[in-house]
Every structure is written in structure tokens, then in C-alpha cells.
Structure 1
Amino acid sequence: MRSPTDNGPAVSRQEFDALFEQVRTWGRWAPADRGAWNRVGADHVRRAAALVRSGTVVPLGRPWDTAAGPDNRRPALHYMSDLGDAETSGPSGPSEPSTHKDFVGADFHGKGITHLDALSHVAYRGRLYGGGAARELVGSGGARFGGVGALGPLVTRGVLLDLPAVQGVAWLEPGQAVHAGDIAAAEEALGVEIGEGDAVLLRTGRFRRRRELGPWDADAACAGFHVHAVPLLAGRGIALLGGDGDSDVRPSPVEGVHSPVHTLAVAAMGVPLLDNADVEELAAACAGTDRYDFLLSVAPLNVPGGTGSPVNPVAVL
């Protein structure tokens, strides 16, 4: 029986490199910088649309977080750039209508903002997905390969793996790893099976724990997938991986690799990651309908050369 905070067996760098080669999909698709999103075609969209029954719409994006904290070291910015007091006046007085304008900005990679990681976000041994040298393809002006602008929107079948519900707990403790056996047990208990082109979302209960116990440094300890679970996900042919953490269990079980699931998903498999999605409302909706698949829409900002984008994904049941 694993301890609630057991992050799983240690993995050597040699074993990790073998896993990387096992799940690698370089050269499989064109355009290459859309990676596994090339799996999702019109048939996938139609099948996802057929899952819409009640019409319940569930947003998954966290509120824009402008407060510093242990899990938000680089707070987002939001300030007003116009309060309606700078309108041009005409011969008859102030021009109407007055308007109010604001500025928003974020260094969004981290634990504070719901965001998508594009394929240019992660390199392993100096190589991006597909094998290109990161130093040659990513510079101060952005990425020339694997930018978020190349991805476009994703509409596909989403699958929620609600591990706390399956295990009969309120949340997984920080540091608890999710293994391939846990995924299989969740599929059986929840009556859902991960398929080709799916978006897989993991609920660890992070945001319920955060609301009840307060924030903590999720870079130091958080629940997530162990690297030994990745071959199962790769074998199912997923298009997107994400959830209420950043998919990685922390501390990392891999010697010298701080984000091994990021590395395998993005740099080896070409699977973008959806980080920090608040799936608590979605979990309640799935439990209420006793089904754990739904239409999922993820539309990143069209930022040419960007390594990712803030997003507000939407699940429709």
C-alpha cells in the first residue's frame, strides 16, 4: 500500500531516456508543430458534439490571479488604462459615450494561471519536439517552431479522471503519484475509456485542498502523474493532457529531470499540456450526470512564436 505522499519509484536517467524513445512520435505528422493535435479531425469533433446532452457549460479557467503567494510567484497584472476621463471634447461638450479600458498581462507559465503549453515550451537534451535544436529555433523574439499560434483551437472529447472520487478521499496529497494502474482503476470505476484524440484531464483535488487549507508551494510538492503512467497514455493516442496541476508529480521521481511528464508529453509525444485548470465544478457536474466524458474546447490566444497562452477552456455536457 502506497503512502498518501509517495511519489512512486525512483527512475534513473537511463531508464527515463528509454521511456522517451518508447513514446517518441517525431516525424509522424505534418504540420509537425501541431504535434498530437493533428490526431483530431472532423470526425472527432462530431463525436465530441454528440456528447452534449444537457447543454451544461462548465468553464475551467481560474480567476486571473494578481495576488502573490506561494503558488503564484509572478502575479498577473491588471490595471485600468482609461477611466472615461480622457475622452475628446467637442463643441457641444464631452464626446459620448465615455469608455473604460484596461491592461492585462502575465508571465503565465507557473502555478497561478490556467494556461496551455505549446511544443516550443519544453526541450530535452537541447532538442524540441521533432528534433530541432532549441537554441536555433527559440530566441528573444519567440519560437520559429512549435509556437502556440500554430496550434489553433482544439475541440475534442474530454475525459476526466477524478482520482479523489475513485479513492474515496477529498484530494490527493501533494507528492502523491498517479500510476498506470490508477488510470485503469479510474476508467473502470468511472465508466469511461480513454481513446484516440482525447483530452485527458486529471483531478487531484488541488483547488479544493487549496480553498480549505490554503495555498502551498506546488513547485515543491504536488500530486500528478508518475512517468511510468505515460506509456499507457501514449498508447491510447491522446491529443492533450492536463488537469488541476501541471501533470507532473512533484518532487520529481527522475534523477536530474525536474519535469519528466512535461518532457515526455511535449518534447517526445508532441502533446500540449493544459496546466492549472480548476476542474472542481466539472467534477461535480460529471458526478451529477454519472458520466465522465464531454465536449472540450480549448482556444489559445493566437500569439505567433509564443510558447503557450493563458486559456479559459470550456467543457460542455
Structure 2
Amino acid sequence: MQAQNRPARPVRQSQDDFAALYRRLRQHAVGGARGALDTIGPERVITAAGEVRLGLTVTMAAAIETEPGPDNPHPAGHTPTGPPEDEEHAHGLHFATDRFGMNVHGDADSHLDALCHVVYDGTLHGGVPATTVTPAGATALAVETARDGIVGRGVLLDIPRLRGIPWLEPGDHVTADDLLAAEAAQDVRVGEGDLLFVRVGHRRRRTERGAWDAAHHRAGLHPTAVEFLAERRVAVLGGDGNNDTAPSPTDGVDFPVHVLAIHALGIHLLDYLQFEDLAPICARQGRWSFLCVIAPLRLPRATGSPVNPIAVL
């Protein structure tokens, strides 16, 4: 494929332009406590099951990391807690056990953002008061909203493949035109209730170049690309980065895609996935849609969850 090297674009977005976009998108929001997940009904799950051709399951999660790094100063803690040394070789029954703790919303580990994750102008999605997020946890729109899992048709749009490059450099943007062009190049169309995954190549760059300060420098969607999500009525957005570009292209708003997708549209986000296992298979098969199963942990009142999305091809 011919390379399409481009500078970071488009131009910055003013606060007024962002506010106007936010107001437009709110008009597209799906009603209901589950937000955009309500676009996935039983009939869509049945249709998504028809995507299975190979009977092959592929993870879209990165391995959880327990060592600190430039993008992960507070890594997950994993401590084997048993059996005691004096029991390891004793006769009879013994158990190996573990203790695990995680900063869910970091910049390295794969996770799902619940609808209570984004507080904007004193409210959560749908105008729910921000006071529902308390020191004891969220009493509304928590990850428990997705307790029955998220199952539907997944679609992967590979933007580096479209441009003929291995990855997008930090600071570059994915536009709505990129998403449309990727659909055309991959002969796939994103539809209502789909789980949309957008590859920017973050994981491949991290593997080949090493970790960097992704909190301040990363590729992602331009805020205007969220109009594509609204028009197609997608249920979920997942990326191999944070979904937001850094530095932010929007004046006065650090995570505009999070605000527009989660707060305005009620779309659950999945951050820091990895598509390096899945994308080559999709390319070889010439098929970029699949059955997708996402099972967040049942963490009542939590703002998010570690997650391991599975593509079934």
C-alpha cells in the first residue's frame, strides 16, 4: 500500500467550536441508563454471532504490567500470597493464591471507562448530578451498568494501514475522513450498535521504540471525528491508545473525545487495547468485522474496569 505520510492535523479547535459540537452531539444521545449500549439488542447479538467463520478467538488486551515505566508510574501490584514456604513441598492439599491491585485509568493497561468516569460542567452523562460520584464510589452510571457483558459486532479500522505507515506519531489525529477512507479501503461499514475499534499503532510503536510519556504525547481521534460515531450510532469505542490525542487539539479541554463520547453520547470507551494480534489476521482474511465479547469485572460503584475484549472470527 502506498504511504500517505501526513503532518499532524487538522487545526486546533476553539472552545466555542467544541461547545457547539458538544451541543450537536447531545441531540444524538441514546436514552436509557445504559447509554449507547441500548443500541445493542438481542437481534444484533444474534446477527453478530453470524460473523464467526474460523472459530478463532483473539485477545485485544495488553498484558497487565507490574513494573513502572514512563507511561506507567503507578503499575498494577501483583503479589503471590501462597502457599507458605513450609507447605510448598508438603504432602496433601495446598493452594497457590494471589493479591492484585490496579490503577484502572492509567496510560498502559487495557481498561473500560464507565459512564460515570467523565464529570463535565457539574454533571455526568444524561445530566446525572456529579454528586452521585462519592468517596465511596459512583451511585449512578457505574461499570455495573455493563454487568451482563457487552456482546456485539466488532469492527476494526486500521489507520496506519490506510496511510501505509507502521503507526501514527504522537500528536497526530484520526479524522472522520480517515474513518470513512478506512471503511472503503477495508470494504467494511460501521453500523448501528457496532463496537468500533480504531488502531493508531500505539502498541506497535511502544514495542519497537519503548515506552514514553503517553500522558502528554499520543495519537488519537480528533474531536470532530466523534460526529462519525454519532451518525453511525456506535455502541462502544475502543483504541490502542487513550482515544484522545495529546496534546489536546481543543482549547481548554484536555480530553475532548472522552467528553464527547462518554458525556455527550453515552458511549463506553476502551483505552490502551492492543490490535497487533488481531489486525494481521483480519488483513489475511480480508474481513474486518467479527463477534466481540467484553466482560468487565463486577465492581459495584467503580468508574471503570480492567478488561480483556475477545474477538471471535
Same fold (TM over 0.5): yes
SS of aligned partner of 2:284: helix
Q: 2:98 maps to what in 1?
A: 102
Q: Structure 1 pair 27/181, CA: closer, same or farther in 2 (3 Å)? A: closer
Match of 2:276 among 260, 276, 280: 280
Q: 1:292 maps to what in 2?
A: 288
Whether the aligned pair in 1 keeps the contact of 2:118 and 2:124 (CA below 8 Å) is yes
Whether the aligned pair in 2 keeps the contact of 1:7 and 1:251 (CA below 8 Å) is no
Deviations 1:20-39 (CA, angstroms, capped at 9, x unpaired): 11111588423x2x111111
Report the CA distance between 1:96 and its aligned residue. 2.4
Deviations 1:30-67 (CA, angstroms, capped at 9, x unpaired): 3x2x1111110111111110000001110111111111
Q: Structure 1 pair 310/180, CA: closer, same or farther in 2 (3 Å)? A: same
Q: Distance in 2 between matches of 1:3 and 1:133?
A: 44
Match of 1:161 among 157, 161, 174: 157
SS of aligned partner of 1:280: coil
State the percentage of identical aligned residues. Answer: 44
Deviations 1:97-137 (CA, angstroms, capped at 9, x unpaired): 11110001101202111000000000111110011221x11
Q: 1:91 maps to what in 2?
A: none
The within-5 A match list for 1:50-89 is 50-85=50-85
Q: Distance in 2 between matches of 1:183 and 1:22?
A: 20
Deviations 1:67-116 (CA, angstroms, capped at 9, x unpaired): 111111210000011124476xxxxxx67211110001101202111000
Match of 1:139 among 110, 134, 139: 134
SS of aligned partner of 1:130: helix
Q: Distance in 2 between matches of 1:217 and 1:252?
A: 14
Q: 1:186 maps to what in 2?
A: 182
SS of aligned partner of 2:79: strand
Q: Distance in 2 between matches of 1:40 and 1:272?
A: 13
Deviations 1:213-238 (CA, angstroms, capped at 9, x unpaired): 11111111111110111111111000
Whether the aligned pair in 2 keeps the contact of 1:60 and 1:277 (CA below 8 Å) is yes
The within-5 A match list for 1:3-82 is 4-24=6-26, 28-30=30-32, 32=33, 34-82=34-82
Q: Distance in 1 between matches of 2:160 and 2:29?
A: 37
Whether the aligned pair in 1 keeps the contact of 2:110 and 2:270 (CA below 8 Å) is yes
Whether the aligned pair in 2 keeps the contact of 1:7 and 1:250 (CA below 8 Å) is no
SS of aligned partner of 2:125: coil
After superposing on structure 2, the runs of 4+ consecutive aligned residues of structure 1 that deviate more than 6 Å are none
SS of aligned partner of 1:263: helix
Deviations 1:187-211 (CA, angstroms, capped at 9, x unpaired): 0000110100001111111111111
In structure 1, the gaps of 5 or more residues are 88-93
Deviations 1:236-287 (CA, angstroms, capped at 9, x unpaired): 0000001101111111111110000000000000000001111111101101
Amino acid at match of 2:152: T
Whether the aligned pair in 2 keeps the contact of 1:178 and 1:225 (CA below 8 Å) is yes
Amino acid at match of 1:177: H
TM-score w.r.t. structure 1 length?
0.93
Whether the aligned pair in 1 keeps the contact of 2:72 and 2:107 (CA below 8 Å) is yes
Q: Structure 1 pair 274/299, CA: closer, same or farther in 2 (3 Å)? A: same
Q: Distance in 1 between matches of 2:156 and 2:29?
A: 29
Q: Distance in 2 between matches of 1:238 and 1:102?
A: 37
Match of 1:310 among 298, 306, 313: 306
Kindly tell me the number of residue pairs found equivalent between the two proteins. 309
Match of 1:220 among 209, 213, 216: 216
Question: Is 1:202 aligned to 2:204, yes or no?
Answer: no
Q: Distance in 2 between matches of 1:43 and 1:59?
A: 25
Q: Structure 1 pair 216/7, CA: closer, same or farther in 2 (3 Å)? A: farther
Whether the aligned pair in 2 keeps the contact of 1:71 and 1:218 (CA below 8 Å) is yes
Q: Distance in 2 between matches of 1:81 and 1:26?
A: 49
Whether the aligned pair in 2 keeps the contact of 1:5 and 1:174 (CA below 8 Å) is no
TM-score w.r.t. structure 2 length?
0.94
Whether the aligned pair in 1 keeps the contact of 2:198 and 2:239 (CA below 8 Å) is yes
